[in-house]
Chains A and B, each alone.
Chain A
Amino acid sequence: MRLGYFPGCSLHGTAREYEESLKAVAAALHIELEEIRDWACCGATSAHATSRTLGVALPARTLMQAEKQNLDRIFAPCAACYNRLASAQHALAHDATMASQIRSILDYSPKTSVSIINIAQLLSAQAGEIQKNSKAPLNGLKIACYYGCLLVRPPEVCKFDDPEAPNSLDHIVSATGAAPVAWDMALECCGGGFSLSRTASVVRLSRAILKSARSAGAHALAVACPMCHSNLDFRQQAINKRNRDGEAMPILFLSQLVGLSLGLDPIQLGLHRHFVSPQPLLDRIGMGKLQPERREQV
């Protein structure tokens, strides 16, 4: 299977481990990821918050690049990137004024038939393969699947899972051998892009999520968004210290969990890069020690 690949900025920066683990998992599942040449930032939260046109034009340009490369399916692992690409495509297909504006900006009119998929779509289609190739099933692990705001919403754009009671991540986690827990906060906001500007809000929101996962008995949280990961992972020390909420909760990318079940090396999966060490988790499934000397500080 050949897929167009849109890493987005985070996967080359703060979420290197997401890309590392993705590439390792893709190789193990024989998925060929072909990076879109000269892709641009999706605009994240800032672009469409300031100008709707810019928020569509940036992803539209990437769609154009992909089209020129003859890619008919694009995989965007970051939930926010996915959301921006899909929203832009939706706007091009349903908003004639916007479409003509974008046409004049890019001097090109991107087709709206290219399919854009996120990690939940990709891996839930591979659930059978994951289960079949599982070398180290994660039996006994309880995972809270965290969808966040952008993976399955808005429904008219995402159209692949129930926007209020999704189960695609749970489906994937089940395939790794771990047990997804039933919890209430799977779709709540972590604070998103306010990490630096309104840290207190982020801490309050992220704490509620961690608390809910903990009370549901989860050993770790599985995420699909670098922004959510950074809020829940990086801010957790502050949260836990201030509130004495309990033990630290490792935050893993979905691809890392899948990688572990496929028997890939934890270091190759970038597990050593997290602030909250996933070591207790590894201990629980009887995996070795993460090499402390290889741990890099970001």
Chain B
Amino acid sequence: MSRIGVFICHCGENIGRTVDCVRVAHNLENVPGVVHSIDYKYMCSDPGQALIKQAIRELQLDGVVVGACSPHMHEKTFRKAAAAAGLNPYLCEMANLREHCSWIHEDRERATDKAIGLARFMVEKIKYNRPLATIRIPVERRALVIGGGIAGIQAALDIADGGREVILVEKEPSIGGHMSQLSETFPTLDCSQCILTPRMVEVAQHPNIQLLAYSEVESVEGYIGNFQVKIRRKARSVDEIKCNGCGECQKNCPNQKIPGEFDRGLGMRTAIYVPFPQAVPNIPVIDRAKCAFYRGKAKGVKKAVCGKCAEVCGPKAIDFDQQDSFVTEEVGAIVVATGYQLYSIGKAQESETLRGYGEYGYGAIPDVIDGLQFERLASASGPTGGKILRPSDGKEPKTIVFLQCIGSRDRAKGIEYCSKICCMYVAKHAILYHHKVDHGRAIVFYLDIRAGGKGYDEFVRRAIEESHALYLRGRVSRLFRNGDTICVHGVDTLSGEPVAIDADMVVLATAMRAQPDIASLAQKLSISYDRHGFLNEAHPKLRPVETNTAGVYLAGACQSPRDIPDSVAMASAAAAKVLGLFSNELLEREPLIARVDQLACTGCFHCERVCPYGAIERKQLKDGKGRVIKIVAEVNQGVCQGCGTCQATCPSKSVELEGFTDEQVYAAVNAL
């Protein structure tokens, strides 16, 4: 490269005040290869850009270095200007003379010297820049949504309504997620089922949505626009096509006493079951661990121990021999909406830093329950038909105590973040309790009330003022059984007094935690997660629903604790991103990716080991007669994101990362 133009920007006074831009431009003029070096007040302005374009045309420049602000600010601007003048945009580079020089130094002399040095780096580097062409890859315009809670449902419906096919994968037998377990929703107190169920039905009936319930993502290959997803369809032991959802099998199942997951152990289900009456799809599944048929078989009993469900099934849908099966789908984008799990109180935690809350006796004292169990008690379709009754003796609790922040905001033994929804749902519980129990007394122990949101603080005030919940600011140290009541020992930090309350029931507002198996899913998708297991967005403010793997988007509580409105908003945002991606048949990508020098490559595949994206493929090099000479690495252009870890790892430096090649870095270092 020999005809380089250097353009030094004053940025008004921003650079010019501390850097002698005239001296910089003069100095660079003398560098071999530079044919043109000028300074100007505002390079990014129209006249400034015109100067660059004019110089490219008139002086046949084959490289442009703009000494101005951060490339994060204006690299695109200047590359576009260069392209407009007929220069390949990747032959234009920026030296950061503002953020990295004039703004952080006072000594004009030394700042100018440094500015010259920074510009020199770029001049030397650009001598080795190559013209690059944007990469275009075709897009498979179908989407995969993982998780059928409210976020997944919303994302699937939005994409499907946008005219694109969606595959919705849900690991449970029915979609609906946690929202289907809730009684009413804050701050409007509309019934959760009433607003959710129609959406679930819509999913089932939408011509663009293929629902794969009781299924899990097994593996994900490929890259944006071109993912191949293998999905495991777990064996239901029921033929989905034959089953008509009549429910006879459940009625006749002899094992009626299994604590139901949907009712959080407060209600019973059968061994063949649909999780709840409004389930979508309304097809039962056999719990093989509890079913007498399978238990007998596992014990080696030759004759079938039970087969009641198969006997009563009209359409003969029961299939005891059903096996897991696999389907592979081609999709162009993936929305992850896998939701959350509740903090398991008093139980051994999988992480050593979390210790649980043995002092609250959850699991030992039957009338200590968690928030989701309270939801089931309060739900009209729940085990008590919506009556608040104690699990121990079925009596109505006249005094109920709610403890907030169980697990949340507790660095000593829980997790430090705020779970965000608990303040609101505890207020809701207090209001529901007030509606349902005459002369009941609700007491809430809280640390702070966090009720930011439309109508949220008003809602908490309503719990206090209209439902007469007594809010005490403080922690509870321990719960004791005292006859058939529970003695709550705590402290009211506002009065400074210790408090002891005889309660009939205690509800723990437990933290929202990331799903337990998130690491394996994140690995399959090559996306990252924080130390709590919540999936990382690409940028906390500006790219909240994207991930660092192009084509993978996030919705709902898998990214951080979220309530329903937030989850739905996020899901619609993710759907908009997917539809935006699908609006083009071809996808354009920056060409700053790795390429392998296949002559020098030895095929040791260290690059393959370190590549975070699985972008390295193996390719056979053959001679004229078709014999394999050697197997070398090849970079999949669609998958490579351009981190360059392969290049630094390659012992013989047979990989080059475009835009940051060894020659470019070497040249810059040599300019020291």
- A interface residues with partner B (beta carbon < 8 Å): 155, 162-166, 182, 184-185, 187, 212
Contacts and interface: CB of A to CB of B under 8 A. Distances in A.
Interface string B100-126: 000000000000000000000000000
Contacts of B478: 184, 187
Interface in B471-489: 478-481
B358 A212 contact: no
A185 B356 contact: no
A185 B479 CA distance: 10
B361 interface: yes
Interface of A is mostly: loop
A212 B480 contact: yes
B190 interface: no
Nearest to B362: A165
B364 to A, nearest CB: 6
B614 interface: no
A165 B364 CA distance: 11
Contacts of A164: 355-359
B440 interface: no
8 contacts: A162-B355, A163-B355, A164-B356, A164-B359, A165-B358, A166-B358, A185-B480, A187-B478
Contact of B361 (A155, A162, A184): A184
A12 B80 CA distance: 88
A87 B621 CA distance: 67
B480 A162 contact: no
A184 B355 contact: no
Please give me the 6 A-B residue pairs with the lowest Cβ-Cβ distance, nearest first: A165-B358, A164-B358, A164-B359, A184-B480, A184-B481, A162-B358
A173 B65 CA distance: 79
Contacts of A212: 480
Given A184-B481, A185-B480, A212-B480, A162 B356 contact: yes
Given A164-B355, A164-B357, 13 more contacts: A155-B355, A162-B355, A162-B356, A164-B359, A165-B356, A166-B358, A184-B361, A184-B478, A184-B480, A184-B481, A185-B480, A187-B478, A212-B480
A165 B346 contact: yes
A163 to B, nearest CB: 7
Contact of B364 (A155, A162, A166, A182): A182
A29 B33 CA distance: 86
A237 B467 CA distance: 49
A212 B480 CA distance: 9
B359 A165 contact: yes
Interface in B488-528: none
A164 B357 CA distance: 7
Contacts of A155: 355, 413
A258 B359 CA distance: 27
Chain B CB count within 10 A is highest, among A162, A163, A182, for: A162
Contacts of A182: 364
Interface string B239-260: 0000000000000000000000
Interface in B348-404: 355-359, 361, 364
B381 to A, nearest CB: 33
Nearest to A185: B480
Contacts of A162: 355-356, 358
A187 B489 CA distance: 14
Chain B CB count within 10 A is highest, among A155, A162, A184, for: A184
Contacts of B356: 162, 164-165
B412 to A, nearest CB: 8
Nearest to B365: A184
A269 to B, nearest CB: 31
A273 B359 CA distance: 34
Nearest to A163: B355
Contacts of B357: 164
Nearest to B480: A184
A231 to B, nearest CB: 19
A209 to B, nearest CB: 11
A163 B358 CA distance: 8
Nearest to A216: B481
Interface in B328-361: 346, 355-359, 361
A123 B361 CA distance: 26
B607 to A, nearest CB: 43
A166 B346 CA distance: 11
A212 B361 CA distance: 15
A166 B348 CA distance: 11
Nearest to A183: B481
A274 to B, nearest CB: 27
A163 B478 CA distance: 12
Contacts of A163: 355, 358
Contacts of A185: 480
Contacts of B355: 155, 162-164
A122 to B, nearest CB: 23
A153 B357 CA distance: 14
Contacts of B361: 184
A205 to B, nearest CB: 13
Contacts of B358: 162-166
A200 B355 CA distance: 35
A164 B356 CA distance: 9
Nearest to A208: B480
A212 B483 CA distance: 10
Chain A CB count within 10 A is highest, among B356, B357, B481, for: B481
A163 B346 CA distance: 11
A89 to B, nearest CB: 21
Nearest to B487: A184
A151 to B, nearest CB: 14
A165 to B, nearest CB: 2
Nearest to B364: A182
Nearest to A162: B358
Nearest to A156: B412
B500 to A, nearest CB: 12
Contacts of A165: 346, 356, 358-359
Contacts of B481: 184
Interface string B298-310: 0000000000000
A187 B360 CA distance: 13
Contacts of B346: 165
B112 to A, nearest CB: 46
A212 B479 CA distance: 13
A155 B413 CA distance: 10
A165 B358 CA distance: 4
Chain B CB count within 10 A is highest, among A162, A163, A164, A187, for: A164
Contacts of B364: 182
A283 B489 CA distance: 39
Nearest to B489: A188
A94 to B, nearest CB: 16
Nearest to B357: A164
Contacts of B413: 155
A82 B481 CA distance: 30
Interface in B48-71: none
A163 B356 CA distance: 10
A212 B413 CA distance: 27
A238 to B, nearest CB: 23
B40 to A, nearest CB: 58
Contacts of A187: 359, 478
Contacts of A166: 358
